[in-house]
């Protein structure tokens, strides 16, 4: 039985409180500005018989009476003006912080999507990808078809259909957008020409395990396709020949594969609970990243390549340093459900994770490490 998700409720309450404090401080700022503009506090002179009320925000009761002759400086009032000015600066700063702190999306479920891409098949969608130019969306799933959508009009523009009888688990565009790769449950990766929408090659893994994840190297020269039998196969994208097999020591199936931004490292996540790093050139295993939980189903590199994120069965994201291979952080999804996918924002400051409960969680993190 899945655990309930308390996360967004507390986030919503915190955001509501922040907004309330923001409104209070904003009111104080307006009041202080009005007092200073109205001349209620004079920095140099004041009439002999004048009495000045302390502003409520300073928390003092009673009145301050004139202690100086006309034409001379008025120390108590001058101090009050300084305090008011300091209060104005402090309240403005705090209000600015509260205006943006944690309130970007207090209730993600209340925000409607800008569009829905659907068809009459009713088939589950397992993978989605944008073309590099952002104009096309490819979606694939259990019925084995790849549907292409125009991102602007949100209309379906093509359906790529093959004779496969089992679902497509992963779809990806090449970096130049010319090729679409799709991995299916039969253990094959199919390549399509994105312009003509014709199939141009079939890459069949030596084992019978299904392909859970497929990825292009940043230069588009290598295609990596994982295998539920426990291996990751590397293919030459031009000749479409297999060039290497990355075999890990454990028996768990590989569930996700990713290239580092510079193309030098390949990360493969296994459902046994570890993530393996391989040298893309020598094909040698260079590190094993192990978390305390079992079942790692997704892996991703930060845009600068310094951090590796891996999501597991229990809704936990482990962060590792790419250089030292040491664990540098742990993030927990409110649902504690299996994390199917993790991704970094282009600036590297946000991590998104999609889980089995139907939620996508976001975390703000620092940039380069």
pLDDT, tens digit, 9 for 90 and up, residues 156-175 = 999 998 766 578 888 999 99
Q: Which two tokens stand for residue 261?
A: 């931004």
62 confidence band (pLDDT: 50, 70, 90):
very low
pLDDT at position 257: 93
pLDDT at position 242: 95
Q: From CA 344, how far away is CA 182, in angstroms rounded?
A: 22
Do 110 and 124 touch, CB atoms closer than 8 A? no
- The average pLDDT across 33-62 equals 42
Do 236 and 216 touch, CB atoms closer than 8 A? no
The lowest-confidence range among 18-32, 52-66, 83-97, 168-182 is 52-66
- The average pLDDT across 233-251 equals 90
pLDDT at position 348: 87
Question: pLDDT: is 69 or 119 the higher one?
Answer: 119
pLDDT at position 280: 96
77-101 pLDDT, tens digit each: 455 555 656 665 665 666 555 554 4
Residue 53's SS3 state is: strand
- The average pLDDT across 31-35 equals 59
Q: From CA 45, how far away is CA 69, in angstroms rounded?
A: 9
266-321 pLDDT, tens digit each: 999 887 778 899 999 999 999 998 865 667 888 899 999 999 998 888 788 889 99
145-158 pLDDT, tens digit each: 888 988 888 889 99
Residue 235's SS3 state is: strand
Q: Which of 180, 155, 156, 177 is nearest to 168 (CA)?
A: 180
What angle, 0 to 180 degrees and rounded to 10, lies between the N-to-C axes of helices 7-38 and 75-100?
150
pLDDT at position 2: 34
5-21 pLDDT, tens digit each: 333 333 444 455 555 56
- The average pLDDT across 232-240 equals 95
pLDDT at position 324: 94
3 confidence band (pLDDT: 50, 70, 90):
very low
Q: From CA 322, how far away is CA 254, in angstroms rounded?
A: 20
340 confidence band (pLDDT: 50, 70, 90):
confident
Q: Which of 296, 318, 321 is nearest to 307 (CA)?
A: 321
pLDDT at position 79: 53
The lowest-confidence range among 87-96, 144-153, 191-200, 212-221 is 87-96
pLDDT at position 197: 93
């Amino acid at each position: 039985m899945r655990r309930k998700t308390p996360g967004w409720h507390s986030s919503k309450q915190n955001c509501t409180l922040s907004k309330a404090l923001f409104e209070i401080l904003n009111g104080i700022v307006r009041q202080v500005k009005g007092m200073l503009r109205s001349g209620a506090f004079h920095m140099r002179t004041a009439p002999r018989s004048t009495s000045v009320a302390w502003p409520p925000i300073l928390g003092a009761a009673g009145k301050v009476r004139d202690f100086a002759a006309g034409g001379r400086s008025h120390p108590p009032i001058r101090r009050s003006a300084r305090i008011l000015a300091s209060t104005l600066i402090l309240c403005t700063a705090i209000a600015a912080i509260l205006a943006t702190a944690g309130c970007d999306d207090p209730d993600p479920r209340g925000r409607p999507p800008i569009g829905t891409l659907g068809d009459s098949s009713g088939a589950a969608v397992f993978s989605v990808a944008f073309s590099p130019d952002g104009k096309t969306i490819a979606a694939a799933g259990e019925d084995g078809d790849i549907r292409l959508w125009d991102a602007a009009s949100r209309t379906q523009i093509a359906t790529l259909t093959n004779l496969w009888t089992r679902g497509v688990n992963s779809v990806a565009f090449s970096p130049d957008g010319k090729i679409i790769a799709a991995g299916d449950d039969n253990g094959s990766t199919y390549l399509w020409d994105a312009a003509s929408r014709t199939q141009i090659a079939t890459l069949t893994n030596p084992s019978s395990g299904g392909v859970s994840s497929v990825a292009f190297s940043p230069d588009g020269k290598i295609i990596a396709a994982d295998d539920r039998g426990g291996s990751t196969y590397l293919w030459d994208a031009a000749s479409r020949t297999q060039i290497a097999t990355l075999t890990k020591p454990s028996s768990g199936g590989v569930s996700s594969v990713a290239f580092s931004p510079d193309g030098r490292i390949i990360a493969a996540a296994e459902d046994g609970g570890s993530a393996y790093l391989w040298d893309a050139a020598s094909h040698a295993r260079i590190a094993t990243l192990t978390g305390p939980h079992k079942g790692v189903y997704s892996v991703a590199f930060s845009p600068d390549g310094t951090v590796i994120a891996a999501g597991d069965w229990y809704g936990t994201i482990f962060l590792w340093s790419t250089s030292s291979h040491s664990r540098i952080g742990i993030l927990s999804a409110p649902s504690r459900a299996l994390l199917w996918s993790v991704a970094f924002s282009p600036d590297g400051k946000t991590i998104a994770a999609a889980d089995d409960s139907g939620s996508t969680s976001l975390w703000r993190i620092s940039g380069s490490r």
